[in-house]
Structure 1
Amino acid sequence: MQSTHELLDLVDENDQVIGQKLRTEMYAENRSNFRVVNAFVMNQNGQLWIPRRTAHKSLFPLCLDMSMGGHVQSGESYEKALQRELQEELNFDLKQIIYRELGYLSPHTHAVSAFMRVYEIRAETVPDYNREDFVAYYWLTPLEAIERIEKGDPAKGDLPKLIRIFYHDL
Structure 2
Amino acid sequence: MTGAPAQPRSADELLDIVDENDEVVGQERRAEAYARGLRHRCAFVLVKDGEGRTFVHRRTAVKLVFPSLYDMFVGGVVGAGETYDEAALREAEEELGVSGLAQPVPLFKFLYERDGHSWWSQVYEVRCELPVSPQVEEVAWHTFLTDGELERRLAEWQWVPDGLDAFHRLREWRGRPPVA
Please say if 1:26 is aligned against 2:30.
Answer: no
Q: Mind listing any 5+ residue stretches in structure 1 that lack a counterpart?
A: none
Measure the CA separation in 2 of the matches of 1:8 and 1:85: 15
Matches for 1:18-167 after TM superposition, within 5 Å: 18-31=25-38, 33-93=39-99, 96-97=101-102, 99-107=104-112, 113-124=118-129, 126-151=131-156, 153-167=157-171
- On the 8 A contact 1:113/1:158 being kept in 2, the answer is no
C-alpha change, 1:86 and 1:45, in structure 2 (3 Å) is closer
Q: Could you tell me how far 1:67 is from its partner in structure 2?
A: 3.5
C-alpha spacing 1:98/1:8, structure 2 compared with 1 (3 Å): closer
- Residue type at the aligned position of 1:51: H
RMSD: 2.3
**Contact 2:44 2:75 (C-alpha < 8 Å) held by counterparts:** yes
Question: CA separation in 1, counterparts of 2:163 and 2:136?
Answer: 20
SS of 1:105's equivalent?
Answer: strand
Aligned length: 164
Where 2:104 maps in the other structure, the secondary structure is: strand
How has the CA–CA distance of structure 1 residues 57 and 26 changed in structure 2, closer, same or farther, with 3 Å as cutoff? same
Q: 1:62-121, CA deviations, whole angstroms, 9 ceiling, x for partnerless residues?
A: 211233111111111111212321232223446x4263212111236xxx8410111111
Q: Is the 8 A contact 1:70 1:81 kept in 2?
A: yes
SS in 1 for 2:70: coil
Shift of 1:143: 4.8
- Greater mean alpha carbon deviation, residues 69-78 or residues 99-108: 99-108
Secondary structure of 2:122's counterpart equals: strand
Matches of 1:34 and 1:86, distance apart in 2: 19
5+ long unaligned stretches in structure 2: 1-7
Equivalents in 1 of 2:148, 2:79: separation in Å? Answer: 32
Q: Kindly state the Cα deviation for residue 130 of structure 1 after the two structures are TM-superposed.
A: 0.7
TM-score, normalised by the number of residues in structure 1 = 0.83
Q: Secondary structure at the match of 1:158?
A: helix
- Offset at 1:124? 3.9
Per the alignment, do residues 86 and 44 of structure 1 end up closer, same or farther by CA in structure 2, a change over 3 Å counting?
Answer: closer
Percent sequence identity over aligned pairs: 33
Secondary structure, counterpart of 1:8 in structure 2? strand
8 Å CA contact 2:85, 2:104 repeated in 1: no
SS in 2 for 1:114: strand
